[in-house]
Amino acid sequence: MSDQQHTEISALGEFGLIDRLTEGLTHHNASTLKGVGDDGAVLEYKDSEVLVTTDLLLEGIHFDLTYVPLKHLGYKAAVVNFSDIYAMNGRPRQITVSLGISKRFTVEHIEVLYSGIKLACEIYGVDLIGGDTTSSRSGLVISITCIGDAPKGKIVYRDGAKDTDLICVSGDLGAAYMGLQLLEREKVASAGQKDFVPNFAGKEYLVERQLKPEARRDIIEELDKAGIVPTSMMDVSDGLSSELLHICKQSHVGCRVYEDRIPIDYQTAIMAEELNMNLVTAALNGGEDYELLFTVPLSQHDAIDKLPGIKLIGHITREDLGCALVTRDGGEIPLRAQGWNHMSE
């Protein structure tokens, strides 16, 4: 964190800080009638259903400020909430941002964090409509609530997958996890070195996937243009295996995922080899890719096949057949949820 300027937060007070952080905000959505500046925001949604999601990020648990720039953190904190709305086939419209701030942060630090949040809102057309600030004894705490909407009948849940449905995923998997491993490796290497320069050469994509993920609005728009409404959908935040098992459990179905169809970027493969890690395990369980995992009826195979950025990786089966990874040699390995567990120690 840069300390070029030092303005104690106490010098502004809570409301002064909020005024400074939210100065000049503009609205992108007609559903925002009143944003920041009163006891509550005022929203109006017509002919659509409202979606609400919340994420809580804790310093030392979800992020490490040793290598996570505050602007990137703000951007990511907003985008992961947008991703949850897209994962239900909705569109994010508004967010509220609440912060717990320890005394080591200055006004300038929080302004940098907010610049990332504002940038995400600008790019995705989302309104920042309120929030709260308070003091924290345990570092930085970020809580963002996102409100979105979807036309009636178009919301996609986790429990709609059916036997013979196709399993699809956007983008590639495992890169964010490998980016985290790279950042952690360079953090260890920097210990005790004053002018340490991390080595990310040739692996910039991995670092970007970890520090600045993007929500897959483009995939939702492509599906809409093609007239395709998935039968179930989630975003890949905790790992492909975890998310797929959630869908199967809630839909009362089984699945088969094919090892040779899992999309993996070249830099991810190289990093896994360097770290002597199993590449497929990383892709299945790494998490934080924020790609979209969804199912569609078998009858839509040709339509899905024409859409860019989507990979067909398997199919849904009857529940009694269980959930398995089909290996390159045709064997089957039971699918296990080994991704991020938010309640583990």
**pLDDT tens digits, residue range 215-267?**
999 999 999 999 999 999 999 999 999 999 999 999 999 999 999 999 999 99
Q: Would you say 153 and 101 are in contact if contact means Cβ atoms under 8 Å apart? A: no
Neighbours of 225 (CB within 10 A): 9
Percentage of the residues of the chain whose pLDDT score is greater than 70:
90
Residue 1 pLDDT more than 60?
no
Q: Mean per-residue pLDDT for 203-225?
A: 97
- Which of these, 159, 155, 130, lies nearest to 143 by C-alpha position? 130
pLDDT score for 157 = 96
C-alpha 325, offset from chain centre: 24
Confidence of residue 65 (pLDDT cuts 50, 70, 90): very high
Structure confidence by residue, pLDDT tens digits, 94-146: 999 999 999 999 989 999 999 999 999 999 999 999 888 899 988 999 999 99
Is residue 340 pLDDT above 50, yes or no? no
Is the Cα torsion angle 122, 54, 235, 33 positive or negative in sign? negative
> How far from chain centre, in Å, is Cα 295?
19
pLDDT at 9: 59
| Helix runs in 68-154, H state only | 70-86, 107-124
Strand partners for 151:
48
Q: 232 Cβ partners below 8 Å, 6+ apart?
A: 156, 157, 158, 159, 160, 161, 165, 247, 250, 251, 294, 295
One-letter amino acid at 129 equals I
pLDDT of residue 342: 46
| Chain mean pLDDT for the chain | 91
For residue 147, the model assigns a pLDDT of 96
Q: What pLDDT is stored for residue 165 in this prediction?
A: 98
**Has residue 345 got a pLDDT over 60?**
no
pLDDT of amino acid 125: 97
Check pLDDT > 70 for residue 25: no
Full-model pTM:
0.90
Looking at this protein, which amino acid is placed at residue 275?
Answer: L
Return d(Cα 248, Cα 29) in angstroms, integer.
Answer: 35
Domains and CATH numbers, the chain: 9-151 (3.30.1330.10), 166-334 (3.90.650.10)
Report the half-sphere exposure of 57 (CA within 13 A, side-chain side). Answer: 22
| pLDDT value of position 17 | 62
Q: Kindly tell me if the per-residue pLDDT of 2 is higher than 70.
A: no
* Confidence bin at 197 (pLDDT 50/70/90): confident
